[in-house]
Structure 1
Amino acid sequence: MEIAEIELKGHIIDSDILNKVFDTIIDLNGDFEVKEFKIGKHKKDPSYARILIISEMREVLEDILTAVHNLGAIVPDINDAIWEEAIGDKIVPSGFYTTTNHPTFVRINNKWVEVENIGMDCLITIEGYRAICKPIDEIKRGDKVLVGRTGIKVVPPPRPREKNPFFGFMTNQVSSERPNISFAKKIAQQIVRIKEDEGKITVVGGPAIVHTGASESLEWMIRNGFVDLLLAGNALAVHDIEKSLYGTSLGMDIEKGEPTVGGNKNHIYTISEIIKAGSIKNAVERGILKKGIFYECIVKDIPFVLAGSIRDDGPLPDTITDTMVAKKMMREKLKYSNMVMMMATMLHSIAVGNMLPSFVETIVIDVNPLVITKLVDRGSIQAVGIVADIGSFLPLMVSELRKLVEY
């Protein structure tokens, strides 16, 4: 028989981590024996469990250890983390350690060091006394890349002890039957709390914000300091600027909800006008663009990243067509976010979700429940999903937000 010992520490009961560990061991055809178990007596006291994992095969035991490690289990040892040098750019050593999106610590020279810029499905490199999370495209020849599990521990965020059930950890069930007015109020309250604490809020948006008529609500949020970063694709910017210049979105009159004669040309005219100006900022400064989401971003000096794709018309000069460059820029700017609100965009929501640590409050608003399910299934278990049309939900949420801040 193959045997290994693991330890679990923290709020392992109320965050359901202990049950997940037991289920994982059984699901992977292992067995376990609890050798020691201490339950925290008071609200802030952590619990502790020491567990033997038993398997008939070494390969199975290794699979179990890998799975429970990602849930926060550690193999008791006093050894430093192990690393090997990358033999070339984007070439990783055999047995490299793959990160989760949970806070992670690495033992270097007998001291635990928190990993910087943690994100899922990346690698960890050692630079002096620092441990840094990097995606494979940033690995360079000679980088010291961690291998194995020795000297590495993962700390999943606990379920908050204070009364805050909406943003509680792992409260991400998807349902279209939830009362949107209640959610709108709770999100608005949380936005105000974050800003009072000088936190940062990121919006990830799709073009449906414009053609469902919700763009003025997002404009209000930007104008009044409730958006610190905007991440989107070329389409959101084109639709927004088209609406500002011509009152249409893909030729559809936004106010009347009817197609306009020859209006299908408007988005091409829009792209041409911004290219002629040289950038969105230039268009604002020259008086060409006088309103809209991106007008407010320029006026309020709110950074935005437009990540291009093969579907784009134009694209606008502000759109980054090299997706790896766009991803790197988005990852860098996201480091300062306390809340990320994803609105009506499947691809950008999933992409940004993969870059976020699990302690960042994440809200996904989409009319398609599959968007929320895909995001959670890919590891963003902190995401709270709201199945709703952004055209109705965003104005509702902003209405609640205005009640809180406009006296």
Structure 2
Amino acid sequence: MSRFALPMYRHPDFSVPELRDAPVARFEPCQRDGVAPADYHATAIYPEYVQTARGKWILLRHSRMDCVIRKVNDTLEVVEFRRLKVGDLVAVGRRENGEDGIYVHTTGFASGGGESCETFAFRTSTSRETSFSIDYDTLYDILRHDRENGFILWVGGPAVIFDSDARKAFASLVDKGYVHGLLAGNALATHDLEGALYETALGQGIYSKKQASMGHYHHLDAINAIKGYGSIEQAVHQGGVRDGVMRAVVENKVDYVLAGSIRDDGPLPGVVGDVYAAQDCMRALARKATTVIAMATQLHTIATGNMTPSYQVLEDGSVRPVYFFIVDMSEFAAGKLADRGSLTAHAILTNVQDFIVNLNRALD
């Protein structure tokens, strides 16, 4: 039995003078579709409160960084600029400590322990030499907790399934209930299905690493075969695909989004080719996530990180953190995610294939 417990969230103290005396937030109408009023307030990844009437502070639900706050009757919505219409009321004011009736709460999950900080210390940044033991153990506890009490969202690149053991391990995690949603591109699904049909990925044996005769056709043949079935789901239900990640996803009714790319072959049926439609589908899953694990896919990871706030408001009104892990061999990829605003992401720098195999074993 896991001893893991979610950290307690502390709402701001609205009795302190700077919040008690703060003005009611201002909302101004849009003059053009897709154009926010001057001095619009852009949302962050942290919990944000808006004072809509004196003493009435509302915590934003389903937030997302770099969006705006739209008021619809008595409801506040966090929306992308592209959704704005003429007349929409949008929150204005860029001061974040209550001066404009908006408060960004960055310390809601802080323990208050006040760890000492040395003026000088070695190894304060994350690198491939960093110790990750505690990160693994924390992740195991979080996944065991969220399997029953949350929504675990995975973001994957094709490297996850280029190895036979890693592909089996990820499918096993799906079967064991540790995957509630999957975000990927055409490549992960294509090469997983190629593995099911030909035991190759891009023509190379996923176990033997031997180049198959005419193997460079295999990913195209896989796409063609799945198109012949009509969909990935039909290929699985009709017995054309008997193993792998997509088999597990379909059989366990896991929600997934395959977001298209300008370089896609095919693509597979079900791949969302319109970038904004794909973003909408991805956000629908990201807004439900309580834990995100992003593996070996820099662009999908950054996109998901930008869509995912640091907190989740549950049905009972309680607030919990959203855990975000990036798993990659590249220190640059982890740094890039932090540079793009995902300050709460934890990096585990390792080979993603080893990571997923070890994770699956630890969760047995």
For the superposition of Structure 1 and Structure 2, which TM-score range results when normalised by the shorter chain? 0.7 to 0.9
What letter matches 1:387 in structure 2? L
> Any conservation in 1 of the 2:50–2:58 contact (CA below 8 Å)?
yes
Deviation at 1:377, TM superposition (A): 1.4
What letter matches 1:264 in structure 2? H
Match in the other structure for 2:188:
236
Equivalenced residues, count: 330
C-alpha separation in 2, matches of 1:182 and 1:153: 33
Match in the other structure for 1:300:
252
C-alpha separation in 2, matches of 1:46 and 1:90: 33
Alignment TM-score, normalising by the size of structure 1? 0.76
- Aligned residue for 2:77, secondary structure, equals strand
What letter matches 1:140 in structure 2? K
Match in the other structure for 2:351:
389
> Any conservation in 2 of the 1:366–1:372 contact (CA below 8 Å)?
yes
- Point out the structure with max Rg over C-alpha: 1
Q: Deviations over 1:159-181 (max 9, x none)?
A: 55399x9xxxxxx9422113455
Task: Give the aligned CA root-mean-square deviation in angstroms.
Answer: 2.5
Deviation at 1:77, TM superposition (A): 3.5
> Any conservation in 2 of the 1:184–1:393 contact (CA below 8 Å)?
no
C-alpha separation in 1, matches of 2:250 and 2:11: 48
Match in the other structure for 1:119:
64
2:332 aligned to which of 360, 370, 383: 370
> Any conservation in 2 of the 1:217–1:394 contact (CA below 8 Å)?
yes
Matches within 5 A, 1:338-357: 338-357=290-309
Q: Do structure 1's residue 194 and structure 2's residue 194 form an aligned pair?
A: no
C-alpha separation in 2, matches of 1:180 and 1:95: 43
What letter matches 2:337 in structure 1? L
Task: Tell me the percent identity.
Answer: 33
Deviation at 1:141, TM superposition (A): 2.1
What letter matches 1:96 in structure 2? Y
Greater Cα offset, 237-246 or 144-153: 144-153
What letter matches 2:328 in structure 1? D
- Aligned residue for 1:324, secondary structure, equals helix
Match in the other structure for 1:156:
106
Deviation at 1:48, TM superposition (A): 11
What letter matches 1:212 in structure 2? D
Higher normalized contact order (CA 8 Å, seq sep 6+, divided by chain length): 2
Q: Do structure 1's residue 82 and structure 2's residue 33 form an aligned pair?
A: no
- Aligned residue for 2:307, secondary structure, equals coil
Deviation at 1:46, TM superposition (A): 8.3
1:97 aligned to which of 38, 41, 44: 41
- After superposition, the Cα gap between the structure-2 partners of 1:226 and 1:114, relative to the gap in structure 1 and judged at 3 Å, is same
C-alpha separation in 1, matches of 2:244 and 2:128: 30
What letter matches 2:163 in structure 1? T
Matches within 5 A, 1:4-403: 77-110=21-54, 111-149=56-94, 150-161=100-111, 173-180=125-132, 182-196=134-148, 198-213=149-164, 214-359=166-311, 360-402=322-364
> Any conservation in 2 of the 1:212–1:390 contact (CA below 8 Å)?
no
Q: Deviations over 1:39-60 (max 9, x none)?
A: xxxxx89899999xxxxxxxxx
Alignment TM-score, normalising by the size of structure 2? 0.85
- After superposition, the Cα gap between the structure-2 partners of 1:182 and 1:256, relative to the gap in structure 1 and judged at 3 Å, is farther
> Any conservation in 2 of the 1:205–1:344 contact (CA below 8 Å)?
yes
> Any conservation in 2 of the 1:77–1:151 contact (CA below 8 Å)?
no
C-alpha separation in 2, matches of 1:216 and 1:162: 42
- After superposition, the Cα gap between the structure-2 partners of 1:401 and 1:141, relative to the gap in structure 1 and judged at 3 Å, is same
What letter matches 1:100 in structure 2? A
What runs of 5+ residues in structure 2 fail to find an aligned partner? 1-9, 95-99, 116-123, 312-321
> Any conservation in 2 of the 1:184–1:400 contact (CA below 8 Å)?
no
- After superposition, the Cα gap between the structure-2 partners of 1:173 and 1:380, relative to the gap in structure 1 and judged at 3 Å, is farther
What runs of 5+ residues in structure 1 fail to find an aligned partner? 1-43, 52-73, 166-171, 403-407
